[in-house]
Copies of this chain bind each other. A is one copy, B any other.
Amino acid sequence: MNSPLSPIHPVALPHAYRLLNTGPTVLVSAAVGGARNVMAAAWNMPLDFDPPKVAVVLDKSTHTRKLVEQSGRFTLAVPCVQGADLAFAVGSQSQVDHARAGTVKADVLGVQWLGAADVPGLGDEAPAFSAALVAGCVGWLACRLLPEPHNQSAYDLFIGQVTHAWADERAFANGKYRPLAEVPEALRTLHHLGAGRFVVPGQELQALAPAAARV
């Protein structure tokens, strides 16, 4: 696709953490073979700059967690206002329940996936790293799981190294989020209060440097 309506471009890895720096809710996706799934996770954060690492909490009850453990890979995608209903939906329903009913959560909820051709710069690694990229988001961080069995077991805490990152240039360009006034409301990030209530950035401010630092 990579149509004029979705100008996806690679993000230099040292800038990838900036996609998460403002604390947006993310979608966590993973694939094993032909099976892929996605969940929502407000509990995520950058963990390092370069090479970039991320941390995310994946509850033991989730099917996505199993796909992460089996594949050793996951993607964090940054949804935006246009995808708020989908973000709430994938966070409210579990593939575990869908499997009991004989359905596929992502299909029932209408998740659209990008293809390898939609995300530039993958080369030979395309099949592995493009297998679970949710369309309609403003950023994507494809990660290799750094196995930490104690963290995963004791805290449901998963750590990944970002191997590829992309962004929609209408929201994030030249390694950072565009000035908020330039970002269409539909492409602004979601910050979860709970139960499908989100706050969305509506104002941007520049703090003043401390006087002592200017001396």
Q: Which of A31-39, A128-136, A192-200 contacts B (4 or more CB under 8 A)?
A: A192-200
Question: Quick check: A197 and B193 within 8 Å, CB to CB?
Answer: no
**Copies, count:** 2
Question: Quick check: B207 and A22 within 8 Å, CB to CB?
Answer: no
Question: Quick check: B205 and A201 within 8 Å, CB to CB?
Answer: no
**Residue of B23, B48, B81, B204 touching A197 (CB-CB under 8 A):** B204
- Give chain B residues whose Cβ lies under 8 Å from the Cβ of A108: 212
Question: Quick check: B84 and A207 within 8 Å, CB to CB?
Answer: yes
Q: How far is the CB of A208 from chain B (nearest CB, A)?
A: 5
**Residue of B45, B192, B194, B212 touching A93 (CB-CB under 8 A):** B212
- Give chain B residues whose Cβ lies under 8 Å from the Cβ of A43: 21, 45-47
Question: Quick check: B55 and A157 within 8 Å, CB to CB?
Answer: yes
A151 proximal to B (CB < 8 A): yes
A126 proximal to B (CB < 8 A): no
Considering only CB atoms and an 8 Å cut-off, how many residues of chain A contact the other chain?
58
| Contact flag A206-B212 (CB < 8 Å), given A42-B21, A43-B45, A155-B53 | no
A66 proximal to B (CB < 8 A): no
Chain A 4-46 per-residue mask, 1 if CB under 8 angstroms from chain B, else 0: 0000000000000010011111000000000000000011111
- Give chain B residues whose Cβ lies under 8 Å from the Cβ of A85: 207-208, 210
**Residue of B44, B156, B193 touching A204 (CB-CB under 8 A):** B193
- Give chain B residues whose Cβ lies under 8 Å from the Cβ of A156: 47-48
12 cross-chain CB contacts under 8 A: A44-B45, A46-B57, A85-B210, A87-B207, A89-B210, A93-B212, A109-B212, A188-B203, A191-B201, A196-B206, A197-B204, A201-B201
6 more CB-based (< 8 A) A-B contacts, given A21-B194, A150-B150: A21-B193, A55-B155, A87-B207, A198-B205, A199-B203, A199-B204
